[in-house]
Amino acid sequence: MTGRRLIGRRPLLVEGLTALGLVAAPFVLPPLGFAPDTVNQAVVWGLFGIGFDLLFGYTGLLSFGQSAFYGTGGFVAAYLLTKAIVSSVILGLVIGMIAAAATGYLVGLIALRRTGIYFAMITVAIAETFFFLENSPLSAWTGGENGIPGVPAPSFDLFGLHYRVGTGWSMYGFLAICYFIGIVVALRIVRSPVGAILRAIRENPSRAAAVGHSVHGYKLTAFIIAAAYAGLAGGLLGVLQAFMPPEAFTFDTSGQLVMQTVIGGSGTLFGPLFGALVWLSLRDFLQAALNLGAAWKLALGLIFVLLVCFLRRGLIGAVHDAVGLFAGRWQTGTPETASVPTPAPTSPMATVGPSRRPDETPFSGPVIEARGITKSFGGLVANRDINFSVNQGELRGVIGPNGAGKSTFFKMLTCELPPTSGHIIFHGRDITGMDITGVCHLGLTKSYQINQLFNRLTVGENVVIAALAERRGRFSLDFLRRIERVPGLATQVESTLSLVGLAARRDVPVAELAYGEKRRLEIGLALASSPSLLLLDEPLAGMSPRERAETVSLLKNIRRGRTLVVVDHDMDAIFELAERITVLHEGAVLAEGTPAEIQRNSLVQEAYLGGVAA
């Protein structure tokens, strides 16, 4: 976490250090036993890995198929350059990169249809197919098993001077410039709104969709970016070796990339470069110095397994932790959460942008209306013919014994579940069949019964994710814009944080919050998208008496200017807060009325007391 704040304060620090490191490498590395060719290979792997790290380390998509794009970019560039179709090496590399990105788009459309292990398996199969294609059907262009020899090195005409890139450190200069550009672009992406959303998708894809982001669109974006990086690196491999090897397309290439990234540290951008340096130097060292011959790969395999078991964050993660341990734990380390008195959310003036869409002409009818909705799972009818409507500015309580169908009902209102029959009308518009992301953009959001947070992000970042959707829409490709430049974002995040009483906890990772604070952040995520109708699913569940009192006063606060529907088991709270209460029982509406009416209702008493009292 320290690292990220450091970046925030001194925006060009990392870029500067990278440039310094790349310039220093030819002077520092040779005495350590690195041959220029080893360093050059590591730089190509490192560039290849930047894209993969954006895909895996940041977005959480583990692909074993990156060789497909590495090979595509490499062979397209090598073909164009050796056949003299394109004379400029740079242009050839760019075209190769574009070809790889386009291939990435098509492959992504297929592979991203599934997630998790399916995604990993599909990428493996796709990469293998590319190898088959290169090897035989396309061998007239790719040279089949022979690859493409004679890839030219770039040359430049600068101020009348002709400079042709040679081998060794001359080639290093060219590769280092490419790597530097690659890192600068990647850092921009990481610090952009898109970068923040990619991390959110890694942490909790379904919540990212629920707060209004097009998860599929952003995953596809990350996939294409990764493919573009791979394509450029593939082209550079051909230039570096003056030969485009068919091995670029093999499963081994994808596997080596994954291993190097994990060894170096994923989610760091620089991990792949360090991993490649470790990999290549260990290979040389074990083979030459220790005379281990073929056993070098076994040694690397064992190192890899041990790192995955015990140091999942790789070498960079380990160094980061070690530095943190020695240098500044006391600086950032706040005392344990329980002892921090959390200020109760008392600032009544802090309101998040009065509910959304003030431009819409005031709508006189109900905000939300369910018309005869029924949901059945096979033979089980969870909800039966429910009619329900809530007026503007109302706070409605929904209660019912366990198994009454409250959660199913809520899921249908937010379009998480489609009803079997019936319609849901929001602001006079039929939203039945829309997806949860679209509904969020209309101004209807929910907070979850079980916290759905972005656990490895800070409190502030969590709220940013939710607020971004409202500011930018469900999909926007501003991946070169700094996140601080999103208009209105800062104020919206500030006011949401102070409304839920977490302003002082802004930089704390969610994992370190107390339970009650997490519950308030859960509500904060829903609030940050400025909904006109907010559904709260058991906001008081599992709270201590003090936390409960705080949250009840929070609910009183946020109801100003909003319409709220609250489901909870806490009768006292519901009867204190709600203007009207709907009672669900066995999947149907049992009663509806003011708290006083509900208290007197004999049907309700019977439902709760099981009829014995009657």
Q: Is 169 exposed, middle or buried (0-12, 13-18, 19+ CB in 10 A)?
A: middle
Site stretch for other proteins (CB under 8 A), options 39-47, 291-299, 454-462, 521-529: 291-299
Residue whose tokens read 């599909």: 122
Q: Which of residues 19-58 bind other proteins (CB under 8 A)?
A: 56
Report if residue 70 touches other proteins, rule: CB under 8 A. no
Report if residue 455 touches other proteins, rule: CB under 8 A. no
Closer CB to other proteins, 203 or 394, in the complex: 203
Pick the binder of other proteins from 136, 346, 594, 602 (CB under 8 A). Answer: 136
The 233-272 contact track toward other proteins, x by CB under 8 A, reads: ------------------x---x--xx--x----------
Closer CB to other proteins, 259 or 431, in the complex: 259
Whole-Å CA distances, 207 to 199, 520, 585: 12, 16, 29
Q: How many residues bind other proteins (CB under 8 A)?
A: 40
| Distance from C-alpha of 23 to C-alpha of 395, rounded to nearest angstrom | 63
Closer CB to other proteins, 23 or 302, in the complex: 302
Token pair of 151, please? Answer: 């890839």
Sheet holding 444-447, edge to edge: 444-447, 533-537, 563-567, 395-399, 580-585, 588-593
Pick the binder of other proteins from 60, 212, 405, 443 (CB under 8 A). Answer: 60
Site stretch for other proteins (CB under 8 A), options 7-15, 38-46, 118-126, 422-430: 118-126
Pick the binder of other proteins from 164, 312, 485, 600 (CB under 8 A). Answer: 312
Report if residue 290 touches other proteins, rule: CB under 8 A. no
Report if residue 301 touches other proteins, rule: CB under 8 A. yes
Q: Which residues contact 576 (CB under 8 A, 6 or more apart)?
A: 552
**What is the pairing mode between strands 155-158 and 161-164?**
antiparallel
Report if residue 317 touches other proteins, rule: CB under 8 A. no
Q: How far is the CB of 362 from other proteins (least distance, A)?
A: 41
Q: Is 196 exposed, middle or buried (0-12, 13-18, 19+ CB in 10 A)?
A: buried
Report if residue 11 touches other proteins, rule: CB under 8 A. no
Token pair of 536, please? Answer: 């709260």
Report if residue 215 touches other proteins, rule: CB under 8 A. no
Report if residue 311 touches other proteins, rule: CB under 8 A. no
Closer CB to other proteins, 133 or 185, in the complex: 133
Token pair of 564, please? Answer: 């709220």
Token pair of 40, please? Answer: 């050059």
8 Å CB contact between 589 and 406: no
Report if residue 137 touches other proteins, rule: CB under 8 A. yes
Pick the binder of other proteins from 4, 5, 83, 113 (CB under 8 A). Answer: 113
Report if residue 84 touches other proteins, rule: CB under 8 A. no
Report if residue 304 touches other proteins, rule: CB under 8 A. yes
Q: Which of residues 497-536 bind other proteins (CB under 8 A)?
A: none
Token pair of 71, please? Answer: 């090979």
Q: How far is the CB of 84 from other proteins (least distance, A)?
A: 28
Report if residue 377 touches other proteins, rule: CB under 8 A. no
8 Å CB contact between 342 and 514: yes
Secondary structure of residue 583 in the 3-state scheme: strand
Site stretch for other proteins (CB under 8 A), options 37-45, 295-303, 354-362, 508-516: 295-303
Report if residue 128 touches other proteins, rule: CB under 8 A. yes
Token pair of 530, please? Answer: 């400025």
Q: How far is the CB of 335 from other proteins (least distance, A)?
A: 28
Q: How far is the CB of 3 from other proteins (least distance, A)?
A: 22
Report if residue 98 touches other proteins, rule: CB under 8 A. no
Token pair of 201, please? Answer: 């998708």
Indicate the DSSP class of residue 458. B
8 Å CB contact between 555 and 566: yes
DSSP-H helix ranges across 112-154: 116-135, 139-142
8 Å CB contact between 47 and 232: yes
| Distance from C-alpha of 500 to C-alpha of 480, rounded to nearest angstrom | 31
Report if residue 466 touches other proteins, rule: CB under 8 A. no
8 Å CB contact between 7 and 196: no
| Distance from C-alpha of 577 to C-alpha of 465, rounded to nearest angstrom | 29
Closer CB to other proteins, 113 or 357, in the complex: 113
Q: How far is the CB of 144 from other proteins (least distance, A)?
A: 10
Report if residue 282 touches other proteins, rule: CB under 8 A. no
Which residues lie across from 578 on neighbouring strands?
A: none
Report if residue 309 touches other proteins, rule: CB under 8 A. yes
Whole-Å CA distances, 307 to 139, 260, 312: 39, 11, 6
Give contact residues for other proteins (rule: CB under 8 A).
Answer: 56, 60, 62, 64, 110, 113-118, 120-122, 124-126, 128-129, 132-133, 135-137, 251, 255, 258-259, 262, 294-295, 297-298, 301-302, 304-305, 308-309, 312
